[in-house]
Structure 1
Amino acid sequence: MSSPELILVVDDTPANLEVVCETLSDAGYEVATAIDGDRALKRVRAYPPDLILLDVQMPGIDGFETCQRLKADPATASIPIIFMTALSDAESKLKGFALGAVDYITKPFQEIEVLARVKTHLQLRQLTKNLEQRVAEKTADLEAALTQLQQSQIQLINSEKMSVLGNLVAGVAHEINNPLGFLVGNLKPAKDYIKDLFQLIDLYQQELSHPSAKLQEVVEEIDLEYLREDLPKLMDSMEQGVARICTISTSLRTFSRSDCDRPIFFDIHEGIDSTLLILKHRLKANESRPEIKVITDYGDLPKVECFAGQLNQVFMNLLANAIDAVEESNQGRSFAQIEANRNQITVKTQLSEDRVAIRIQDNGIGMTPDVKEKIFDHLFTTKAVGQGTGLGLAIARQIVVQKHSGTLEVNSNLGEGTEFVISISVKDIAVKNFQQTSCVGAAYR
């Protein structure tokens, strides 16, 4: 059996504390109290509640400042705050909402109103926590799946079966599409059903001019007007989430193009964008650094005749290495220092006569002349034991040079970042050996 929700009541008037605490305790909630803002802040940090009822006018730190401090702290920012106040002016309410409060309760207290608002916001917080947990679980599952794919790459490379990886990712994208299609197909009817239900409720309210006390109590308890306003917003959020998954699924299919047996005409920018989306989780800000900024400067390119899946593997390798390089450059630097000189990766494409150049540049630590000379050698790696195979750049160069009759070059100076330059022909790539050569992909070096 789950423990009751903890509600912190903050008020400098003992009579108010007694009334509210008795009401909440009788309803089955666990109640804690504080008589001023300072005590409230200390109590919240030590024992975070599920909800805070906060008086506006208090000596010392008033309710507004207390709310502002709670919302500024990531550890307490998500706790819903309901203001308790005798103030009824719109300016005070707007100030409270601007600071992050979710609701107001006006003194003198009405027991039914207090319980209804408390119940509503506790339910909303629980729904939010459940959704965040499900998102975190799905994210963890996807990250675990990606880790498994990365581990599988080495085995597949050694056995020259990189086509299996492409088929696997394509299969995942296909499996995602089945439930995704169900969601896409049902969200609009669900919104229509909700609209119909609200219309029916409106009609009942029009024809039932004198609702019973029980019916009126239920309407107030569920806060029908708030539901009417908030439910469409929840549905819109779900639609945005589904659209995001559709984008990811499309990128997975783009990235895993199964074209081992023949070259096709392919949009290079589409391949780069799909790779960046797959790597997006590594570009996001974390506790040690801000977001890694990616600048794309795309030229006007025609479609290029290439082995698209293998070329995407090259983009994956070079972009992942660029992320590694800028993260390595952050060692010994504070968050503020990194923010002052932001991590950055630039991807530039250009057309010169019948050749396409793709430049991937980072502002990381750069390379010494000795490392630059060996960077494409088989089994050479600058990474710690267990973190790199020494195969990635060697195979990336093999894909560009042998499969596409192109070039892969590196420009780098220690402390000045690194730039990899891919150059391939728009068409008529060398395919004289592709019947004898199995598909090969790029692993992390």
Structure 2
Amino acid sequence: MLDFSTASILLVDDNPTNLSVLRQALKELGLNVRIATNGEEALEQVQRKLPDLILLDVQMPGIDGFETCRQLKSNLLTQDIPVIFMTAHSNTESKVKGLSVGAVDYVTKPFEQEEVLARVKVHLQLRYLTCALQQTNETLEERVKQRTDALQKAQVQLVQQEKMSALGQLVAGVAHEINNPIGYIAGNLHQAELAVNDVLGHLRLYQAIFPDAGHAIEENAKNIDLEYLLSDLPNMISSMKVGCDRIKNISTSLRTFSRADKDSKVLCNIHDGIDSTLLILKHRLKANEQHPDIEVITEYTELPLVECFPSQLNQVFMNILANAIDALEESNAGRSFEDIQAHPNQIRIQTQLSPDCQWVVIRIADNGIGISEEVKQHIFDQLFTTKAVGKGTGLGLAIAQQIVVEKHGGAIEVNSLPGPGTEFIINLSLKSAT
């Protein structure tokens, strides 16, 4: 759970009153608060020390909040800092513009302190979850790297067991850590939704019984755009619940990938294993400065459950997909971002039944540089690799072949030529193999 005493907020507003009120309220939560009175000052402060969240006014002297946010999102060091806009404009155009430049949320002036604090809490918790997941991924990558030398000297069976055990424990741990805070958030959101509905119903009752509310109340309702708030507040809570459900789905996929194999085979949905593996590799599929997103095209046919060792098959998918990503990155050498965008990197995954309905066929193809006939002859050999020293163990495809052929009585083959790309074909029998 997030310790608010370690979190920092950058509050950007040219109105001294707003700064004073919000600063005091945020400090009462235990947050470390820094202030800036314009966009230029905010950008300078962010360069000196990264905050966990930014509350950003839209209308300011010099560069406005929209431009400040654009500059933050264009900088690799600051692009992941969540930004909440504070604006007196409640029209849809302003909100859409704010979200389009990278803001995660907005509050409308004049604001309620409780609303601002609630939104700050939610986005700090989400920021905490994201950072925790990134740190765990970095830890996992570091551990795998440290084990590379040992893996090269170990036998294939030992490598398979140790690697999947370590990966499974780490991923299962991530799923567990996600479940705790998201359960707390989801539970509170449910109660908040009930409370908000009660309050809104009570307010509607007041409006019905006392339609002549008086000038002061009517003026205030107009200033805060009461009707819009009444309709929008349930939508906000609904959106947060959707976000919680999405994180729960991610946690479920992580547990699917990391489940430990039993002594005997179990019936398994092959598509679940592929999808959970893609989730683990998602960070490598995303765009960066060198290339756009790697497109993953899944063409699934409805399949029966397959009797197998699920965790071992997940390792096969992991090794083949990771090799496909490596091949695509290698094929990008010397190509411009625009050229790659026009002819995108793709991984295509197809599943189908064999004509006699006795086998499940899984095809994983990339449109990378392909491999030569000479390399193809040795691709499943132990310790054979075409990657640079320290980049590959030469065991991934050897392990994949052993799992598919020896453990599952199936077959694995590769089709490739230099240029068109590479396709791996996995055949798994629907009859139990001993």
Do they superpose with TM above 0.5? yes
Query: What is the CA-CA distance between 1:28 and the residue it aligns to?
Result: 10
Partner of 1:398: 402
Partner of 1:253: 255
Q: In the aligned structure 1, how far is the partner of 2:312 from the partner of 2:372?
A: 29
Going from structure 1 to structure 2, the CA distance change for 1:384 and 1:230 (only over 3 Å counts) comes to farther
Q: Does the 8 A contact of 2:87 with 2:109 survive in 1?
A: no
SS at match of 1:296: strand
- Of the structure 1 ranges 118-127 and 282-291, higher mean CA displacement relative to structure 2 is found in 118-127
* Among 382, 385, 390, the residue aligned to 1:386: 390
Going from structure 1 to structure 2, the CA distance change for 1:131 and 1:224 (only over 3 Å counts) comes to farther
Query: What is the CA-CA distance between 1:117 and the residue it aligns to?
Result: 6.0
Partner of 1:109: none
Cα deviation 1:355-405 (Å, max 9, x = unaligned): 221110001111122322222111122222222222111111110111112
Q: In the aligned structure 2, how far is the partner of 1:31 from the partner of 1:245?
A: 33
Q: Which 5+ residue runs of structure 2 have no aligned equivalent? A: 24-34, 47-54, 101-107
Partner of 2:335: 333
Larger Rg: 1
Query: What is the CA-CA distance between 1:235 and the residue it aligns to?
Result: 2.0
Q: Does the 8 A contact of 1:408 with 1:422 survive in 2?
A: yes
Partner of 1:164: 165
Going from structure 1 to structure 2, the CA distance change for 1:97 and 1:188 (only over 3 Å counts) comes to closer
Going from structure 1 to structure 2, the CA distance change for 1:7 and 1:122 (only over 3 Å counts) comes to farther
Partner of 2:50: none
Query: What is the CA-CA distance between 1:218 and the residue it aligns to?
Result: 9.7
Partner of 1:138: 132
Give me the identity figure in percent.
44
Query: What is the CA-CA distance between 1:139 and the residue it aligns to?
Result: 3.2
Going from structure 1 to structure 2, the CA distance change for 1:229 and 1:382 (only over 3 Å counts) comes to farther
Q: In the aligned structure 1, how far is the partner of 2:19 from the partner of 2:408?
A: 74
Does 2:365 align with 1:371?
Answer: no
Going from structure 1 to structure 2, the CA distance change for 1:176 and 1:119 (only over 3 Å counts) comes to closer
Q: Does the 8 A contact of 1:407 with 1:422 survive in 2?
A: yes
Q: Does the 8 A contact of 1:67 with 1:99 survive in 2?
A: no
Q: In the aligned structure 2, how far is the partner of 1:303 from the partner of 1:80?
A: 49
Q: In the aligned structure 2, how far is the partner of 1:137 from the partner of 1:172?
A: 12
Going from structure 1 to structure 2, the CA distance change for 1:127 and 1:338 (only over 3 Å counts) comes to farther
Going from structure 1 to structure 2, the CA distance change for 1:185 and 1:407 (only over 3 Å counts) comes to same
Q: Does the 8 A contact of 2:384 with 2:394 survive in 1?
A: yes
Going from structure 1 to structure 2, the CA distance change for 1:392 and 1:193 (only over 3 Å counts) comes to same
Query: What is the CA-CA distance between 1:6 and the residue it aligns to?
Result: 4.1
Q: Which 5+ residue runs of structure 1 have no aligned equivalent? A: 9-20, 34-39, 56-62, 85-89, 103-113, 432-445
Q: Does the 8 A contact of 2:346 with 2:366 survive in 1?
A: yes
Q: Does the 8 A contact of 2:13 with 2:60 survive in 1?
A: no
User: What amino acid sits opposite 1:337 in the alignment?
Assistant: D
Q: State the aligned residue count.
A: 384
Cα deviation 1:123-145 (Å, max 9, x = unaligned): 79966874564344233234235
Q: Does the 8 A contact of 1:263 with 1:305 survive in 2?
A: yes
Q: In the aligned structure 2, how far is the partner of 1:308 from the partner of 1:70?
A: 48
Q: In the aligned structure 1, how far is the partner of 2:350 from the partner of 2:363?
A: 5
Going from structure 1 to structure 2, the CA distance change for 1:208 and 1:316 (only over 3 Å counts) comes to same
Partner of 1:53: 59
